[in-house]
Chain A
Amino acid sequence: MSTNNSKKNCRCFYGHGIPRVKLEDLAGKLIVVEGADGSGRSTQIARLVDWLETSGHPTVQVGLKRSTLVSKELEEAQQGNILSRTTLSLFYATDFADQLENIILPALKAGFIVLADRYIYTLMARDMVRGMDESWLKNLYGIAVKPDAVFYISVQPQELVQRNLAKNATLDYWESGMDLGLSRDMFDSFVKYQTAVQGSFRKLQKTYGFTVIDGNRPVGSITKELRKKIRTIISEKETED
């Protein structure tokens, strides 16, 4: 199911949007890859950038906690483990808005392909698990421009935990949802938290209609599927041009 591509040339904001932005000027394509740490998301994005650039498409990457404005401060606050949920939520929203206005929108205007390593959906899903109100989140992220495609790489939490441990030999405090007090045991907490986040994603899927990609497959076959889907989007762009 790909409700995203059903209507060609449908460029819109999810809600109030950003004042004074002309949507019809945003000629580029915004492609989002969502998925937990260990889902293979970053690997796929690196491969897609490689492929897009060698095929001659100018590409820009954005992702969470990469803004000039607050990435450093947000990281520091997370190290201190003193962030309460509304603060955490708004801090990430600031980080997102800074990249949206300073990178995503200008790049789309210049006709670039923007690859987003996660977008508002991860932020919303995490906040929902922390009990933030869904309508509050929808208003907050009403500033976001609707992507041309959203791929959600789905991997079972039991598999995610194995992949994370194999890679880092430890689990991240926030990716384990340790602030939620689900379990004192980090392994248990990680599995419980990631299961809850996936539950939120399923809920969001109904509203936002992502394309779900089965992440329990070899890297190459996932890349192949993504390329095929992205090629359709790019050819739309070329016929428009």
Chain B
Amino acid sequence: MKTFAELNFPGRLIAVEGLDGSGKSTQIYLVKRWLESEGIKVYFSEWNSSELVKSATSKGKKRELLTPMTFSLIHATDFADRYERHLLPLLRAGYIVLCDRYVFTAFARDVVRGCPPEWVRGNYSFAALPDMTLFFKTDLEVSLNRILEGRPKLKFFEAGMDLRLSTDPYESFRIFQGRILDQYIAMSDEFKFVVMDANENVEKQQTIVRKLVSEKIDLKKFRRRSPLPLPPAISAAEVKEQEEDLAAV
């Protein structure tokens, strides 16, 4: 497996990984805002968000139709759709693509669910590796507390209830997240994760993240040549039309 840079793509892909409640989504959002303000071509893609597959996934989850294998495959389908239709063309066009979760989420979760690791990795082998993967590592208790503080209603698959680890969703969630964390840690070296101390405060982390990103990627190469096109100017006829509409009111 090669990174996009190694494959000579003009664009670069940065992925964030970590447990629910690790703060990774906040961090990547702030990176997006920063890069946008710098006039850089940036695109953000979230795990499990393909319009094409979404309704099947949510039906499968709501009706608890998913097995570990179909859970894995439906997420792979979702990823493939975003990868082929958005990520690849954008990376060809020289974008910085930010991914909230990448293949490592599947490698961790699906394996915890009992799918054969080689099978899962094989299925995702069409995807190139990120140029930078930030792993937001928290102590298990910290991320659990961030999620469980408000005693939210945990969803069946989110809590790993399909694994029958416990009949109590909160207890199940704890065990499930613990196992996922172990998988992430085991993958850290293999995939050269940049490990972030996600127990730290948000602003401090963001400062570090921005520094790491600018060191790794020569950002000025990714600036738009011209500012985003302005909305088309209104013609005189349209102005007149609008005035008439207003007068009618």
Contacts and interface: CB of A to CB of B under 8 A. Distances in A.
A199 B70 CA distance: 30
A93 B73 CA distance: 7
Chain B residues touching A, majority SS? helix
A136 B125 contact: yes
A84 B122 CA distance: 19
Interface residues of A, number: 34
B93 interface: no
B247 to A, nearest CB: 43
A18 B69 contact: yes
B49 interface: no
Contacts of A74: 56
A19 interface: yes
Interface string B93-115: 00000000000000000000011
Interface in B12-26: none
Q: Which of B52, B59, B84 has the most CB of A within 10 A?
A: B52
A173 to B, nearest CB: 17
Interface string B54-81: 0110011000011111100110110011
A68 interface: yes
Contacts of A68: 65
Interface residues on B, range: 20 to 34
Contacts of A101: 67, 69-70
Interface of A: 15-20, 68-70, 72-74, 77, 80, 82-87, 89-91, 93-94, 97-98, 101-102, 136, 139-140, 142-143
Interface of B: 52-53, 55-56, 59-60, 65-70, 73-74, 76-77, 80-81, 83-85, 114-116, 118-119, 122-123, 125-126
14 contacts: A15-B119, A17-B116, A69-B60, A69-B66, A72-B56, A77-B52, A82-B85, A85-B84, A86-B83, A98-B67, A101-B67, A136-B126, A139-B123, A140-B123
B119 A90 contact: no
Given A16-B118, A69-B65, A73-B53, A87 B74 contact: no
Contacts of B73: 90, 93-94, 97
A19 B77 contact: no
B155 to A, nearest CB: 17
B65 to A, nearest CB: 5
A202 B204 CA distance: 61
Nearest to A19: B114
